[in-house]
Chains A and B, each alone.
Chain A
Amino acid sequence: TQLLEQSPQFLSIQEGENLTVYCNSSSVFSSLQWYRQEPGEGPVLLVTVVTGGEVKKLKRLTFQFGDARKDSSLHITAAQPGDTGLYLCAGARNYQLIWGAGTKLIIKP
């Protein structure tokens, strides 16, 4: 059972375009973490959002946690080829991380 729906699962866009990745659930999470993972490497933490309605910015990346703490989005402005990678959202509940399926992002020069 996929408790955290992540979309899109694959996205290929041109350099300079904007994009948004969504993670949605019917369950409440105490926090939500976004990771980026390169092939053969472990997930690297990008951000943790904790408070409902919270917005965090990391250069051209903007992360938002829904007011009800059930959903989150990642928005990338003016995407660059270096943004290419697998992006994973994970909702925290007790000791568990509930993972989205991941979004494979390709930015073409």
Chain B
Amino acid sequence: DTEVTQTPKHLVMGMTNKKSLKCEQHMGHRAMYWYKQKAKKPPELMFVYSYEKLSINESVPSRFSPECPNSSLLNLHLHALQPEDSALYLCASSGQGGSGNTIYFGEGSWLTVV
């Protein structure tokens, strides 16, 4: 089973709303990731968690707040977003992070900020 599950599939939110994206994997992977992807562009790394600790934050604005409640779950809390934050948000996981470990992606959550 190489499945990374993301919910919701689609989310529309206003600029004053607070919402969360959720991600789950049961592959025993110790590294989990959030990526943002705009149309016709490759995914851009936002955050990396390794062994449930935040190890990389790619200078992401504080209106995006990641959380890793346990080794299987990864959340992305959203608050006071801007319309330009509308994108496909991808969760991914890999065996232990680091070189040589394949990264598996979820189906993504389409976010529209109005």
Contact = CB atoms under 8 A, between A and B. Distances in A.
Contacts, number: 62
How would you classify the secondary structure of chain B's contact residues: helix, strand, loop or mixed? Answer: strand
Given A35-B105, A40-B108, A42-B90, A92 B99 contact: yes
Closest 6 CB pairs of A and B: A30-B99, A99-B42, A42-B105, A42-B108, A48-B102, A30-B100
B44 to A, nearest CB: 8
A90 B108 CA distance: 18
A90 B33 CA distance: 15
Q: Chain B interface: which size bin? A: 20 to 34
B43 A99 contact: yes
Interface stretch (B14-22, B48-56, B63-71, B72-80): B48-56
Interface of B: 2, 4, 6, 31, 33, 40, 42-43, 45, 48, 50, 55-56, 88, 90, 92, 97-108, 110
